[in-house]
Amino acid sequence: MNGEMQGKVCLVTGANAGIGKATALGLARMGATVVLLCRSEARGRAAVAEIERRSGSRALHLLVADLASQRQIRRVAAEYLERFERLDVLVNNAAVLAWQERRLSEDGLELTFAVNHLAPFLLTGLLLDRLEASAPARIVTVASGAHRRAPLDFDDLQNERDYSPFDAYCRSKLANVYFTYELARRLEGTGVTANCLHPGVVSTALFRGMRRWQRIAIWLGRPFLLTPARGADTAVYLATAPDIAGVTGKYFEKREAVRSSPVSYDAELAGRLWEASEALTQSRS
């Protein structure tokens, strides 16, 4: 374990498996205090134990919440603020892909949009004062190259018409990019940066719930999928690298800032999504 992140507090969502756990491990190895936000207490505790063993760190903490529930997001944000005096890095990693059918969250919202976009939108907003008080601080959101495949329909943000699991996922990832760019604009001058990334095509739990033929296709392509550790590399880089300390409002792939889809740079649409997200989460910035 090195001390590059000694004294820093990092919160990673969806940290019990896949990219999230690999990100938490990478930060722990650099000496950060890492808070794992997980849906399952049992899986979260197992992840903490594994990361302790592999990193040698004892500065690991667990928070439990289902990010499909805005009630639980508000509760866990309040718990974080009560327990931790600073927040240097927030990694919005948790995501779902409902492969079988359109499902609703506790709040009556389409599940993929609720977890992948509205959850980080709400959680970030609730923790923003602590991030600003800890500045320089960083917000890292795990998006995806899939954002290029499906534009947002502002008349159907809940994917009620002609529901397609993968299209819903793609739209939620485009929402991540819009969110990052609009957040960066709003945080200008605060010392808090906001960037997002494409982790690559990674073998993760997102593939659970696929139909049989889909699982076969993934199995055949498994040799070409990235490990979670490789998928987490850019997230850890964005959370820690000194050379990008002032970089904000960018989309990264393989540690490099690259162009996201042309439509993702439409500031009017990003602002429109922000307003819709405030309404859907009953929050105001």
pLDDT digits (tens, 9 = 90+) for 21-42: 999 999 999 999 999 999 999 9
Which of 80, 169, 178, 251 is an active site residue?
A: 169
Is residue 178 flagged as an active site residue? Answer: no
Residues 221-243 have pLDDT tens digits of 344 455 878 889 999 999 999 99
281 with 122: CB under 8 angstroms? yes
- 132 CB-contact burial (10 Å; exposed 0-12 / middle 13-18 / buried 19+): middle
- pLDDT tens for the chain, 285 residues long, are 677 999 999 999 999 999 999 999 999 999 999 999 999 999 999 999 999 999 999 999 999 999 999 999 999 999 999 999 999 999 999 999 876 789 999 999 999 999 999 999 999 999 999 999 999 999 999 999 999 998 999 999 999 998 999 899 999 999 999 999 999 999 999 999 999 999 975 445 544 544 443 443 333 334 445 587 888 999 999 999 999 999 999 999 999 999 999 999 999 999 999 999 999 999 876
Percentage of residues of the chain with pLDDT beyond 90? 84
